[in-house]
Amino acid sequence: MSLQPHQIVYEPIITEESQIQQNKGSQYTFKVNPDANKIQIREALEYIFKKDEIKIVNVNTMNYQGKLKRQVGRHTGRRPKWKKAIVTLRKGDTIELI
């Protein structure tokens, strides 16, 4: 299975906790394809942000199952599963997200 870089990385996750991680330890959080592994995530992000010349030191991933949600009446549905990646850059590197 060959995925393009923009098919692997969907969007950055910008929350209060992720902003603290950015300022404190140069860590950035992204929503990624659930089928992508850490090596593919690293290569995709280095390709996407190649003009910034970033070097990724570490990639941590977490899988989330979709929540059950009630539909009309007694029917239930499920939100899609997703994957989160926390990427650590080398000291001094930054990514301009906004």
Statement: residue 69 has pLDDT above 70: yes
- Cα end-to-end span (Å), the chain: 31
Tens digits of per-residue pLDDT, 3-26?
Answer: 899 999 999 999 999 999 998 888
Statement: residue 50 has pLDDT above 70: yes
Q: How many angstroms separate the CA atoms of 1 and 90, rounded?
A: 29
Q: How many angstroms separate the CA atoms of 48 and 4, rounded?
A: 10
Mean of pLDDT values over 65-86: 90
pTM equals 0.86
Q: How many angstroms separate the CA atoms of 46 and 22, rounded?
A: 17
Residue 76: per-residue pLDDT: 87
Question: Looking at domain 5-89, what is its CATH homologous superfamily?
Answer: RRM (RNA recognition motif) domain (3.30.70.330)
Mean of pLDDT values over 38-65: 93
Q: Are 32 and 61 in contact (CB under 8 A)?
A: yes
Ranges of each domain in the chain = 5-89
